């Protein structure tokens, strides 16, 4: 049985920018403290929500380093180091491991559309080079490629493959994977709205966008599920569902950063080609946040 890197809600943390468009490390420190105070079980840094695709290499590395410095060992830090370039992912993953990351988050290679054999080779090359536990990341709506249950089963045999962030919304795949891999592969929801369902099936929690604005709520939902209080968890998840839905009304992290700025967190703008929300969508988001007591 593989001990999960974390149980509960890990925030997929945004990367805050200052008014000149640089990474705002002072604000990053504030966000880390807010998450720890809110009961977040782990920080996932430089993932999709962290706009990793538009961070320079120097920014990516420094953001990982600074996050580790600010967390200071209090909770696990999972570093997003995936790439569609295997050699670059190896280099970045080795760096994160040397800096003290608890684990890596490795997204499937995007655009290249490798075969399942290529996917296995890509992941194992990175993981063996870095030498630390890793969480696979399946989000085919963004990358154009998905793990199969066969590939999950093959990768789960490796001791450093700790689990997967499953954001495919493919419950047949998730069920088949759980059946085949059992305790060899931990599964976390990659979609906030699926947290209760995946934990009810045996998942370990969620890597959460909603935690950026409501860390205590997401950590409470996961805690209730872990205690077997499924009805209470589902009721709480239902209460925040309109806001959680509207945090994806446009491409993540556009609504998440907008919501945080509406709450006065001042996390800065998005990097092009991501841009400000359409006014009608922002009003819808504002209304659902107000209904959840966040404004």
Mean pLDDT of 90-99: 98
User: Is 137 an annotated catalytic residue?
Assistant: yes
Residue 103's pLDDT is what? Answer: 98
Counting beta carbons within 10 angstroms of the beta carbon of residue 243, is it exposed (0 to 12), middle (13 to 18) or buried (19 or more)? buried
Mean pLDDT of 219-248: 97
Does residue 249 belong to any structural domain of this protein?
A: no
Residue 290's pLDDT is what? Answer: 96
Give yes or no for residue 1 having a pLDDT over 90. no
Q: Which candidate in 27, 66, 120, 165 is catalytic? A: 165
Residue 159's pLDDT is what? Answer: 97
Give yes or no for residue 138 having a pLDDT over 90. yes
What pTM does this model have? 0.96
Does residue 235 belong to any structural domain of this protein?
A: no
Does residue 27 belong to any structural domain of this protein?
A: yes
Mean pLDDT of 13-20: 97
User: Is 25 an annotated catalytic residue?
Assistant: no
Does residue 223 belong to any structural domain of this protein?
A: yes
What are residue 44's DSSP bridge partners?
A: 12, 78
H-type helices in 80-166, by residue range?
86-99, 116-130, 140-143, 149-156
Q: Which candidate in 27, 66, 120, 137 is catalytic? A: 137
Residue with tokens 């509960």: 8
Give yes or no for residue 291 having a pLDDT over 80. yes
Mean pLDDT of 218-232: 98
Does residue 250 belong to any structural domain of this protein?
A: no
Mean pLDDT of 249-276: 97
What are residue 259's DSSP bridge partners?
A: none
Does residue 251 belong to any structural domain of this protein?
A: no
Does residue 233 belong to any structural domain of this protein?
A: no
Query: Rounded CA gap, 91 and 96, in Å?
Result: 9
Mean pLDDT for all residues in the chain: 97
State the CATH number of the domain containing residue 218. 3.20.20.70
Mean pLDDT of 22-36: 98
Mean pLDDT of 57-63: 98
Quote helix, strand, coil % in the chain, to nearest 5. 50, 15, 35
Contact 120, 158 (CB under 8 A): no
Residue 219's pLDDT is what? Answer: 98
Query: Rounded CA gap, 222 and 218, in Å?
Result: 6
Could you list the residue range(s) of the whole structural domain that residue 187 is in?
Answer: 8-227
Number of separate domains in the chain: 1
């Amino acid at each position: 049985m593989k001990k999960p890197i974390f149980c509960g809600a890990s925030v997929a943390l945004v990367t805050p920018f200052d008014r000149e468009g640089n990474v705002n490390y002072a604000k990053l420190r504030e966000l880390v403290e807010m998450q720890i105070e809110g009961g977040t079980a782990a920080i996932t840094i430089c993932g999709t929500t962290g706009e990793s695709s538009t961070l320079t290499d120097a920014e990516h590395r420094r953001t990982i380093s600074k996050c580790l410095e600010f967390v200071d060992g209090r909770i696990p830090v999972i570093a997003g180091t995936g790439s569609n370039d295997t050699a670059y992912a190896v280099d970045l993953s080795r760096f994160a491991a040397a800096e003290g990351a608890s684990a890596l988050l490795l997204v499937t290679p995007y655009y290249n559309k490798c075969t399942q054999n290529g996917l296995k080779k890509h992941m194992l090359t990175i993981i063996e080079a870095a030498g630390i536990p890793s969480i696979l990341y399946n989000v085919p709506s963004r990358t154009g490629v998905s793990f199969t249950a066969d590939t999950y089963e093959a990768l789960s045999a490796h001791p450093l493959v700790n689990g997967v962030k499953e954001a495919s919304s493919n419950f047949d795949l998730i069920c088949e994977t759980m059946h085949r891999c059992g305790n060899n592969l931990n599964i976390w929801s990659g979609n906030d709205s699926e947290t209760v369902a995946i934990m009810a099936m045996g998942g370990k929690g969620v890597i959460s966008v909603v935690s950026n604005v409501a860390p205590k709520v997401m950590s409470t939902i996961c805690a209730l599920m872990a205690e077997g209080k499924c009805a209470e968890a589902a009721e709480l998840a239902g209460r925040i569902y309109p806001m959680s839905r509207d945090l994806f009304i446009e491409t993540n992290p556009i609504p998440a950063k907008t919501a945080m700025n509406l709450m006065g967190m001042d996390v800065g703008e998005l990097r092009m080609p991501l841009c400000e929300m359409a006014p009608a969508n922002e009003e819808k988001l504002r209304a659902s946040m107000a209904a959840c007591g966040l404004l």
